Amino acid sequence: MAFENEESFAASSVEEKYESAVRARANMDRDFLCPICLHTMKDAFLTRCGHNFCYSCIMTHLKNRNNCPCCAQYLTIDLLMPNFLLTKLMNELSASMMLKNASPAEQLRLALEQDADLPPKELDSLLLLLNERKQKLDREEAEINTEIIFDFLHRLQFRKLEAMKEVQSDLQFLKDDIATVERRLRCLLASNKSHSKRVCEESPLSDLDIHTEYGSTSTGGAVSMWRSGQSGAYTPPGEEKLNRAERIRIRNLAYTSVSTDIENDPSVDSPGEYAGAHKIAKKRRVLAQFEELQGAYFLRRRQIAFKECQKQQSQESVSKKGAYKDWDTYDDGLDDFQSILTTYTRYSQLRVVAELHHDDPFQPSSNIVSSIDFDGDDQLFATAGVTRRIKIFNFATVIDDVVDVHCPVTEIPTRSKLSCLSWNKLKKPLVASSDYEGIIAVWDVNRSQSVVEYEEHEKRAWSVDFSCIDPSMMVSGSDDGKVKVWCINQDASAFSIDMKANICCVKYNPGSSNHIAIGSSDHHIHYYDLRNLRTPLFVFKGHRKAVSYVKFMSSNELVSASTDSTLRLWDVQTDTSVQTLGGHTNEKNFVGLTVNSDYIACGSETSEVFVYHKATSKPSFSHKFRSSYAEDIGDDISFVSAVCWKSESPTMLAANSQGTIKVLELAP
């Protein structure tokens, strides 16, 4: 027991000595501090009262006061004297602290710089150690670099193998699809041949040889391969020869380039041969966007193949390698892409069908058309803007009447500038509007008066939209950050969503009365289920600036426009970005957005209308607005401000900031 007490006493005494040493060192360090600047003294000077200060500090103090900063005794410059010993001690302390905190290499360098007395043997030993250390470091560095390049090559090999697998998979897709298309083409040729034969048999001219199905290409098919002798007697070939001829023709069709067609196809020089020129025009359109179409083909092909693979795995019916493929049910995205290719090559230009003006050349800023919308029957369309008027036009009259100025069927004055219109597709007379004062109004076009007005928004309302399912419901968005859902049978909003950001656009899903898309200044699109307003179903992120428009191509496909000069196509079921489209200019203005099942159209600040196919990222067509008085007002202020497709047709309306409205049509 006594032994344990002695041990504990010895341990406590050691700890006390250590703590006292630390305190003494701290006190010593404080003694080297200047009482004025509280830093280590430089050029220490001693006063008559025994206090030390930095020379610069005490001199500055004595210029203002004649006393000691520590004890307040009388003190002048004459009573100061340099403290050489303290200065020397501080220099040595600084050197030791520097040496203590320095790295080993720095300590060695300082020792050599201070001419440390090192014998030659120790220098040789140091050099040997340094050389060994350097060689070791070089080996380690070489090993690291070798491992890095080894890892790089392995990763590169892996990626190239993956790319090769992808290319092999793509080539297999192409091989399968080429085989499928060849089978279909043979069926079409056989069907055309049997149809031609039947027509010939039924025709009173059946005695003449008009079988030109496999005619010579050099004569445009005018001379039959089946002629025999001078009399022109009909001698049908055998089935083997017929199949061989069909295969040769199909191969020629597949590998004939556009340039070859242009040079050798007689249909180009013959105005009557429409089919040949039409085929070449379609090929030109394909080649013009070949890279884009190639990407669309492989994207759909891989997606559907992946889904089919998952489906087969879930059904535990994966076919073995080399198993027979049922060509009659074969469909891995080829039909989908053929539909895209058909719609893409259907048109070759965006032409002007009609044009109407209701602008004022002396006040161009008051002519901006902010919104255009068709009624449910596409017979009437409404325009609105800063003119404080809703104008209703008859579409057929605009197309048929060739006049300079078209008068509206109905004109409704409003209290404020209008930002958006939405025609009720189920109740034809009703049109909703949003204006710069935040008022949401519903108008009866037949009576030219308002049905109901809502003034709950506190700032400018940018967007309003009627539901395509429930004609009594509509939604609006405003700069006050609020999205409000209205029932036109009620005097107030049904409910409100606080978004904490300026709302630029709102849109109902055409397949649901419960789902809405909201574009705002936070660069995002918020997709809500109105039955649960706590959190959005999805938040689509990708735009770099405010989202100015949102439109639905279908119940699953959403298109957004932003002032970052891009459009984006989203899948609202999987929360994924499908396509990014760009080519127009949109940095500060609302330039319009409209969609149909295949095409997307938007305006541009270059006073152009751009039309995109949803499968390609670059514009397919464009049209430039040219003002008759652009030189007077400056063409740089003109921009396309509103666009609207006529439902499921190649016709659209487009308006610019000078009040010009054009009827544009996609034409072959």
Helices (H), 316-444: 334-345, 395-400
Of all helices (H) and strands (E), which one includes residue 10?
Answer: helix 2-31
* Residue among 370, 274, 242 nearest 657 (CA): 370
pLDDT at 349: 87
pLDDT of 409 over the 70 cut? yes
CA 511 remoteness from chain centre: 25
What span, in angstroms and rounded, lies between the C-alpha atoms of 292 and 282?
15
- Which range (107-121, 149-163, 403-417, 581-595) has the least confidence? 107-121
What span, in angstroms and rounded, lies between the C-alpha atoms of 474 and 457?
14
pLDDT at 560: 95
What span, in angstroms and rounded, lies between the C-alpha atoms of 198 and 188?
15
- Chain region(s) in the chain for CATH 2.130.10.10: 348-627+636-667
What span, in angstroms and rounded, lies between the C-alpha atoms of 592 and 421?
12
What are the tens digits of pLDDT across the range 578-631? 889 999 999 988 999 999 888 999 999 999 999 999 888 889 899 998 765 444
Of all helices (H) and strands (E), which one includes residue 440?
Answer: strand 440-444
Arithmetic mean of pLDDT, 515-530? 94
- Chain region(s) in the chain for CATH 3.30.40.10: 32-101
Write the secondary structure of 202-248 as one string of H (helix), E (strand) and C (coil). HCCCCCCCCCCCCCCHHHCCCCCCCEECCCCEECCCCHHHHHHHHHH
The highest-confidence range among 241-245, 355-359, 375-379, 398-402, by mean pLDDT, is 375-379
What are the tens digits of pLDDT across the range 2-24? 444 544 544 455 466 546 544 54
Arithmetic mean of pLDDT, 255-272? 45
134 backbone dihedrals φ, ψ, rounded to 5° = -65, -45
pLDDT at 40: 80
Q: Which residues pair with 45 in a beta bridge?
A: 53, 82
What span, in angstroms and rounded, lies between the C-alpha atoms of 623 and 642?
14
Residue given tokens 């950001």 in the structure block: 501
What are the tens digits of pLDDT across the range 36-94? 888 888 888 988 888 899 988 989 998 888 899 888 888 888 888 888 888 888 777 77
* Tokens coding 320: 């073995």
CATH of domain 348-627+636-667: 2.130.10.10
pLDDT at 458: 92
Give SS3 for 101.
helix
What are the tens digits of pLDDT across the range 304-326? 777 777 676 666 554 444 444 44
What are the tens digits of pLDDT across the range 213-250? 434 433 333 333 333 333 444 344 444 554 555 555 55
Q: What percent of the chain has pLDDT over 70?
A: 73
Mean pLDDT of all residues in the chain? 79
Angle at 55 between CA 53 and CA 58, to 5 degrees: 60
In terms of residues, how long is the chain? 668
CB neighbours of residue 368 within 10 Å:
22
What are the tens digits of pLDDT across the range 442-489? 999 999 899 999 999 999 999 999 999 999 999 999 999 999 999 999
Arithmetic mean of pLDDT, 288-312? 78
* Tokens coding 31: 């003694």
Residue given tokens 């409910």 in the structure block: 495
* Tokens coding 223: 């001379």
What span, in angstroms and rounded, lies between the C-alpha atoms of 52 and 46?
5
Residue given tokens 């250390």 in the structure block: 133
To 10 degrees, the CA torsion angle through 532, 535, 538, 542? 150
Sign of CA dihedral 306, 311, 315, 318: negative
Neighbour-count burial of 567, counting CB atoms closer than 10 A to its CB (0-12 exposed, 13-18 middle, 19+ buried): buried
pLDDT of 254 over the 90 cut? no
Q: Note whether 412 and 421 are within 8 A (CB).
A: no
What are the tens digits of pLDDT across the range 631-643? 444 445 689 999 9
Please, which residues have CB within 8 angstroms of residue 303's CB and are 6 or more apart in sequence?
333
46 backbone dihedrals φ, ψ, rounded to 5° = -105, 135
Instruction: Determine the straight-line distance between the first and last CA of the chain, rounded to whole angstroms.
Output: 110
What span, in angstroms and rounded, lies between the C-alpha atoms of 381 and 372?
7
What span, in angstroms and rounded, lies between the C-alpha atoms of 640 and 633?
16
Q: What percent of the chain has pLDDT over 90?
A: 34
Between 3.40.50.150, 3.30.70.100, 2.160.10.10, 3.30.40.10, what CATH number should domain 32-101 receive?
A: 3.30.40.10
Q: Note whether 220 and 267 are within 8 A (CB).
A: yes
Q: Note whether 552 and 595 are within 8 A (CB).
A: yes
